[in-house]
């Protein structure tokens, strides 16, 4: 049984409202806000889509929501989770869930990451588009022709292109055969060379935190492989800012580990959708609101924790 944590683009206006009804949620969000430097209560309940698309808001908002829903899971149910993984910025929530980082360090670092990536994104007008379907080799060749970068290999027939807005418009106008191109609501070309300045900023900040070795198996976006050293995982978190996300390889590793079930923490839905296509037959639950916690706990209770997926 594994728990996964989503990345940018999964947030929506007002999605934190139902979570504030939980005991202690307001206090936890207040702490997350202080650590990250963003008013996360206002961001998750009042701000509109354009405002929460800003990466310096979106990143801490998503990680805070994931940690809030992770903490809301029944404690006994959490003991049945054998491994964790996060997609892009979701790796910070996964690192906290695995015990590599404290919640405070995770939120401080993701706040710094968001601001540094926003600064990098402001230098040039860039963006990202999902490419659905088609032959991956042909898709990558088309991206290279346009000067775009395959930033996210998401598996399940989905790849995300990143680069200049002009090049993305060219991709949409003439997509590879058998594909659909969908512009993503993100603020820059993340996981590409455009983010290089943010890497150095985050590296300096990460040098000031203490990383522990994971208490749960954790897989990296770099190559989909499990990582046993907390320090190494934090180094990967830093480098990942300007490197492609290999979620496809993470899902290959999940399949190899013979995981019995998957839950996606808030703001959930995207990763469960990918898993349904790439991990056919593996039961999955998307925890979108507190109402989904019961279904997640029931799935955890029914699923076996396989030895390959445990720490």
Q: What is the pLDDT of residues 267-295, one digit of tens each?
A: 999 999 999 988 989 999 999 999 999 99
Q: Model-level pTM?
A: 0.93
Sequential DSSP letters for 269-301? SHHHHHHHHHSTT--EEE--SGGGHHHHHHHHH
* 8 Å CB contact between 87 and 271: yes
Q: Is residue 300's pLDDT more than 90?
A: no
Euclidean distance between CA atoms 167 and 176, whole angstroms: 14
* Beta strand residue intervals within 2-98, DSSP E: 2-5, 83-86
pLDDT value for 306? 36
Q: Which entry of 88, 129, 253, 260 is annotated as an active-site residue?
A: 88
Residue 271: closest CA among 36, 91, 55, 51: 91
Tell the CATH superfamily of the 2-121+192-309 domain.
Malonyl-Coenzyme A Acyl Carrier Protein, domain 2 (3.40.366.10)
Residue 303: pLDDT band by 50, 70, 90 thresholds?
low
pLDDT tens for each residue of 74-130 = 888 888 999 999 999 999 999 999 999 999 999 999 999 999 999 999 999 999 999
Euclidean distance between CA atoms 108 and 111, whole angstroms: 5
Q: Which entry of 33, 66, 69, 191 is annotated as an active-site residue?
A: 191
Buried b (16+ CB within 10 A) or exposed e, 118-135: bebbeeeebbbbbbbbbe
pLDDT value for 108? 98
Q: Is residue 156's pLDDT more than 90?
A: no
Q: Estimate the crossing angle of helix 90-97 against helix 103-121, to 10 degrees.
A: 170
Mean pLDDT of 208-215: 97
Euclidean distance between CA atoms 36 and 30, whole angstroms: 10
Query: Is residue 88 flagged as an active site residue?
Result: yes
Residue 186: pLDDT band by 50, 70, 90 thresholds?
confident
* 8 Å CB contact between 137 and 131: no
pLDDT value for 309? 32
Q: Is residue 8's pLDDT more than 50?
A: yes
Residue 307: pLDDT band by 50, 70, 90 thresholds?
very low
pLDDT tens for each residue of 127-151 = 999 999 999 999 999 999 999 999 9
Query: Is residue 191 flagged as an active site residue?
Result: yes
The residues that bridge with 226 in the sheet, in sequence order, are: 219
pLDDT tens for each residue of 15-58 = 999 999 999 999 999 999 999 999 999 999 999 999 999 999 99
Percent of the chain exceeding pLDDT 90 equals 90
């Amino acid at each position: 049984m594994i728990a996964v944590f989503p990345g940018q683009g999964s947030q929506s206006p007002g999605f934190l409202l139902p979570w504030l009804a939980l005991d202690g949620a307001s206090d936890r969000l207040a702490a997350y806000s202080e650590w990250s430097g963003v008013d996360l209560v206002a961001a998750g309940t009042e701000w509109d889509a354009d405002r929460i698309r800003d990466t310096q808001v979106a990143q801490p908002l998503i990680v805070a929501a994931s940690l809030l829903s992770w903490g809301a899971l029944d404690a006994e149910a959490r003991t049945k989770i054998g491994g964790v993984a996060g997609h892009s910025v979701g790796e910070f929530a996964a690192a906290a869930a695995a015990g590599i980082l404290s919640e405070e360090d995770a939120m401080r670092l993701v706040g710094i990451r968001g601001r540094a990536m926003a600064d990098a994104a402001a230098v040039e007008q860039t963006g990202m588009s999902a490419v659905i379907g088609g032959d991956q080799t042909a898709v990558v060749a088309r991206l290279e022709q346009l000067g775009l970068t395959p930033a996210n290999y998401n598996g399940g027939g989905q790849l995300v292109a990143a680069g200049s807005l002009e090049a993305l418009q060219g991709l949409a106008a003439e997509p590879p055969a058998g594909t659909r191109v969908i512009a993503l609501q993100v603020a820059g070309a993340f996981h590409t060379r455009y983010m290089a300045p943010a890497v150095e900023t985050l590296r300096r900040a990460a040098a000031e935190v203490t990383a522990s070795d994971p208490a749960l198996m954790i897989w990296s976006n770099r190559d989909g492989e499990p990582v046993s050293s907390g320090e190494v995982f934090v180094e990967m978190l830093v480098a990942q800012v300007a490197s492609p996300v290999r979620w496809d390889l993470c899902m290959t590793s999940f399949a190899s580990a013979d995981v019995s079930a998957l839950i996606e923490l808030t703001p959930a839905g995207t990763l469960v959708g990918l898993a349904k296509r790439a991990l056919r037959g593996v039961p999955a639950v998307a925890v979108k609101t507190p109402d989904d916690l019961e279904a997640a706990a029931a799935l955890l209770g029914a699923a076996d924790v396989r030895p390959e997926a445990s720490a």
